[in-house]
Structure 1
Amino acid sequence: MGKPAILTVDDDPEVLQAIARDLRKQYGGEYRIVRADSGQAALEALEQLKLRNDTAALLLVDQRMPQISGVEFIEQAVQIFPKAKRVLLTAYADTEAAIRAINTAKLDYYLLKPWDPPEEKLYPVLDDLLEDWQASYRPDFDGVRVIGDRWSPESHQIKDFLARNQIPYRWLDIEQSQEAQNLVDYSHENPEEMPLVLFGDGARLSQPTPRQVADQLGLQTQAEKPFYDLVIVGGGPAGLAAAVYGASEGLRTVMIEREAPGGQAGTSSRIENYLGFPSGLSGGDLARRAVTQARRFGVEILSPQEVKAIHQKDGYRSVTLTDGAEISAHAVILALGVWWRRLNVPGTEKLTGAGVYYGAAQSEAIACTDEDVYVVGGANSAGQGAMYFSKYARKVTMLVRGESLAKSMSQYLIDQIEETENIEVKAYHSVIEAKGDGSLEAVVIENSQTGEVETVPANSLFIFIGAVPYTDWLEGLVARDNRGFILTGPDLPQKQDRPQGWTLDREPYLLETNVPGIFAVGDVRHGSIKRVASGVGEGSICVQFVHRYLSDVL
């Protein structure tokens, strides 16, 4: 946010130049002096200030202007900046109009021309008005503003991207906020092309992709060098741990993350069983701390950026990004994590992002204030989500296919859920259909024990039903199990007492794939323990195997 503005308006160029000069001399250090030669130009200037999230402290306006008088301008201007102080510059013959404006336009003061000397006739008046304005001034949120429709999948995507990348933003619902409607009008953007993203420097994007938002915010999406010692694909806890240990031990390291550092764990509202944090911490906090630590050691983090292929070339590994760029390295660690499993029932696909969400607790919970929320799933992620929603929602209903939460959820979470009055757990229940025209309106729930089917009104359905690996793009390169998880070390298929396709004399290291120099860690690895601490541990120890590999080939 820039300096508060003092706007002066006069159609006489010499008078406008003189008043601007006097204002700049006295107030230029604390205020931005904006001048306009007509009422219409001044209104457009105020609209631009609003779009940049700047503010106007004082309006100093000449009464006699063509097309629109000073009083008429002030009456329109206060709709944009209602708290700005209002001063009218008048000739002696206009004093009656100025006095009437005290009531009609809530004028704060009127000054007679000429105002020379300003030290006696101008500055004392404005000093008092600006001091009064400063006493009640509370700066608006200084950051990214997102204007959109709550039920728009595109709006949800941008909110989720900003939240997961720890970028503060303000959400304005076009259906509920007059300010949102005004900003769209000022921008002259098509209200059908939402979301509209406004940035602090005055830039704006209509219906942007996350990558466009990232570029506007200055996030790094391109590597600085063509070659590194270590490329890490994936920025969850395992990838971040590998990055910290790799860079801290002298490896030139770059980490490439498809969405946001922290991965799926970064969306967790509360992790309470992570060693060293007795009060718990959110996934976002863990990601922020890890990113800070990695960057302190010199890790380059490219996000949002995606790897679409890996090739072996002249003894090196080369990764190809979706934009065609290539990065080469001695070794690659695959820390791809997993993605939310889709609920394959009628209606969920078309309503995803419009009332049906996967994860997304941090970006959508506040919008569910005083509403009934349904959570599908019975593992830790579902329990953490339910606890987070319970702070905002009127009631949270957990739908669990099994007989209880005990099979797949940590006991500490079960205890918390039982103690939370507005959370209800329904065992043997599952969603069999989602209904709605444009947004979720109802869900159909079945009791598998009794066969009873019930349709209940619902605006928000959050799904936490396990995860699947995103590894199809590795087909033909690294060995995977029948579910797509990457095989490493002793889990690799054997042929004549050797891993199939393995060309070296030694056995693959514990976390090494069937391709020498390519490793896999964390949730994407076959047989891994799906816990944050486990991912961090694997990412940390994998760097030691990378060093062993490098000592063999270099």
Structure 2
Amino acid sequence: MPATQTGGAARTVIVTVDDDPAVSRAVARDLRRRYGESHRIVRADSGESALEALRDLRLRGDSVAVILADYRMPEMNGIEFLEQAMDVYPGARRVLLTAYADTGAAIDAINVVDLDHYLLKPWDPPEEKLYPVVDDLLAAWRTEDHRPVKETKVVGHRWSARSSGVREFLARNQVPYRWYSSDEPEGQALLTAAETDGTSLPVVITPDGRALVEPTDPDLAASVGLATTPSARFYDLIVIGGGPAGLGAAVYGASEGLRTVLVERTATGGQAGQSSRIENYLGFPDGVSGGQLTDRAHRQATRFGAEILTACEVTGLEISGSSRTVLLGDGTSVAAHTVILATGVSYRQLDAAGVDELTGRGVFYGSALTEAAGCKDQDVYVVGGANSAGQAAVYLARGARSVTLLVRGESLTASMSHYLIQQIEETPQIRVRTRTEVAAAHGTRQLEGITLRDTKSGETETVDAQFLFVFIGAAPRTDWLDGVVQRDDLGFVVAGPDLAVAGERPAGWPLDRAPYHLETNVPGVFVAGDARAESAKRVASAVGEGAMAVMLVHRYLERL
């Protein structure tokens, strides 16, 4: 049943959702009695219908101040609903309606969805139990800036690699946008208005009405208000990379008074930011999506004063006395006393015929979240045997007809966490094929099929496929450090005790002390997270190393 609405369109909205019709009407009645003249009340009887209503409100530019959700709803409980509602209206205040027996779940929800309050049912009399809570939440909501955000419009083709890249860039940078297919009337009308014939796609129409044809990431970032150039020429600390390690370093550096700038080539979050669900991160017993964790860390870093630059490619590092200068792809540079390398890793490319030509047109590297909607009722293939592949398979199985996990090894136990293996075993839509690799990808305009090869027998099989997600291996993004910072044979940065040879300081080390634990062979240049040789490759350890690197930065600066 669709959500029902009362009141005029210009008023701020309060949303309530409960699957019990009597309770739903009672909540809406009490809210309307107190707030009906100044707010519009939207009532829904399921999480799905409420999400649909929220998306419609967002598209119209309406403001939602408070969302009240019942905990015990079938198919999608109140916590699950609020978690998805956060992605639509992150600034709305969130209330969970619970029975006394559910208070434990409500307390857990404080971590999962930043719950603002939970109300025990019944809430009679509302003058004592409901209205004071809503009054406080509305007052808190009004203190923040909730001016409507004008949307960016993207016109492209579903099987265009660059169209896919633009959508992923905007989504990962939390930029509201609306997608229009160039094959449909609305998309054609926008192309006509933009005075382009659509031969070059995508076309991005900015909130101020400018049309950008096949924009680069830096052009796109600048057009939607993301910072792309540093505001100063010299800082205390430059953090390179915006994954968990880099965000952790930015939070701790800025919060401790260091003039901090973070430089990121695409979007903050790194590989973790693309994870549909991280369930083994401390403090989140019900898990947290990579996007939500990234968004919180990003906001936390900027609140402390860290400057975050997006779509900035780092091309080199120069050392001049106590200054460390980072060279950027646009020919500019930025300098600081210290640098933390938190560049993370990227997925290795799949070495199979036809894959390169079909990348972005059915073959995707680590973009399951962006493309998941298009996988509904499809047969999907995921390549990889580690946690990222497992998380993607579980997430895609929510809508796909089937998900086949392709693993080169004998089993998942060597590379995947136990909790994920259990989830995969309990999900009937997921099938695991071990000792299997992709030998080729087929298709003209888009992916149409893949050839699978048994790594033991060599036998091959060709299957129909429109979606192939690849999560294989990890290659560090460190080529630009060649000749300056010491790396191992695989490109990972060597630091601390690992630099010593037979207990001696590294060759060329200029100081009378040994390198600190995360310090590279260049004094004042540190490494944290997945880019470090022998790192743990886990979100928690990356965040911890980012914080530890800042502690060592302080120690270094004290001795300058």
TM-score by length of 1: 0.73
Q: Write out per-residue CA displacement over residues 225-270 of structure 1, whole angstroms, 9 at most, x where no aligned residue.
A: 1110001111100011011111111111000001101111111111
Look up the SS of the partner of 1:483 in the other structure: coil
Structure 2 match to 1:465: 472
Match of 2:553, as an amino acid? V
Quote the Cα distance in structure 2 between the aligned partners of 1:446 and 1:54: 50
Identity %: 54
Quote the Cα distance in structure 2 between the aligned partners of 1:416 and 1:444: 27
1:201 offset after TM fit, Å? 2.3
Match of 1:417 among 416, 424, 428: 424
Structure 1 match to 2:454: 447
Quote the Cα distance in structure 1 between the aligned partners of 2:458 and 2:238: 52
- Unaligned segments of structure 2, at least 5 residues: 1-8, 11-58, 62-147
Quote the Cα distance in structure 2 between the aligned partners of 1:493 and 1:303: 36
1:141–1:170 CA contact under 8 A, matched in 2: no
Quote the Cα distance in structure 1 between the aligned partners of 2:60 and 2:281: 42
1:207 offset after TM fit, Å? 1.1
1:439 offset after TM fit, Å? 1.6
Quote the Cα distance in structure 2 between the aligned partners of 1:241 and 1:464: 24
Look up the SS of the partner of 2:315 in the other structure: strand
Q: Write out per-residue CA displacement over residues 75-117 of structure 1, whole angstroms, 9 at most, x where no aligned residue.
A: xxxxxxxxxxxxxxxxxxxxxxxxxxxxxxxxxxxxxxxxxxx
Quote the Cα distance in structure 1 between the aligned partners of 2:165 and 2:366: 12
Q: Write out per-residue CA displacement over residues 301-342 of structure 1, whole angstroms, 9 at most, x where no aligned residue.
A: 000112111111132111111112221111000000001111
Look up the SS of the partner of 1:416 in the other structure: helix
The 5 A counterparts of 1:209-220 are 209-220=216-227
Quote the Cα distance in structure 1 between the aligned partners of 2:300 and 2:178: 27
Whether 2:486 is the aligned partner of 1:482: answer no
Whether 2:224 is the aligned partner of 1:227: answer no
Structure 2 match to 1:158: 166
Structure 1 match to 2:463: 456
Quote the Cα distance in structure 2 between the aligned partners of 1:158 and 1:148: 9
1:174 offset after TM fit, Å? 2.1
Structure 2 match to 1:547: 554
Quote the RMSD (CA, aligned, Å). 1.8
Quote the Cα distance in structure 2 between the aligned partners of 1:54 and 1:418: 42
Whether 2:507 is the aligned partner of 1:500: answer yes
**Pair 1:226–1:141, CA change in 2 (3 A):** closer
Quote the Cα distance in structure 2 between the aligned partners of 1:544 and 1:212: 36
Match of 1:276 among 280, 283, 293: 283
Structure 1 match to 2:112: none
Structure 1 match to 2:6: none
Structure 1 match to 2:348: 341
Quote the Cα distance in structure 1 between the aligned partners of 2:60 and 2:387: 43
Look up the SS of the partner of 1:343 in the other structure: coil
Quote the Cα distance in structure 2 between the aligned partners of 1:289 and 1:242: 14
Structure 2 match to 1:80: none
The 5 A counterparts of 1:106-117 are none
Structure 1 match to 2:302: 295
Match of 1:438 among 433, 445, 470: 445
Aligned residues: 418
Match of 1:455, as an amino acid? T
Whether 2:543 is the aligned partner of 1:531: answer no
Runs of 4+ off more than 3 Å: none
Whether 2:360 is the aligned partner of 1:353: answer yes
1:199 offset after TM fit, Å? 2.4
TM-score by length of 2: 0.72
1:142 offset after TM fit, Å? 5.0
1:311–1:319 CA contact under 8 A, matched in 2: yes
Structure 2 match to 1:173: 181
1:163–1:362 CA contact under 8 A, matched in 2: no
Quote the Cα distance in structure 2 between the aligned partners of 1:327 and 1:213: 22
Q: Write out per-residue CA displacement over residues 111-131 of structure 1, whole angstroms, 9 at most, x where no aligned residue.
A: xxxxxxxxxxxxxxxxxxxxx
Match of 2:255 among 248, 258, 266: 248
Match of 1:144 among 147, 152, 159: 152
Match of 1:159, as an amino acid? R
- Unaligned segments of structure 1, at least 5 residues: 5-52, 56-139
Look up the SS of the partner of 1:499 in the other structure: coil
Q: Write out per-residue CA displacement over residues 512-533 of structure 1, whole angstroms, 9 at most, x where no aligned residue.
A: 0000000001000001000000
Quote the Cα distance in structure 2 between the aligned partners of 1:411 and 1:179: 47
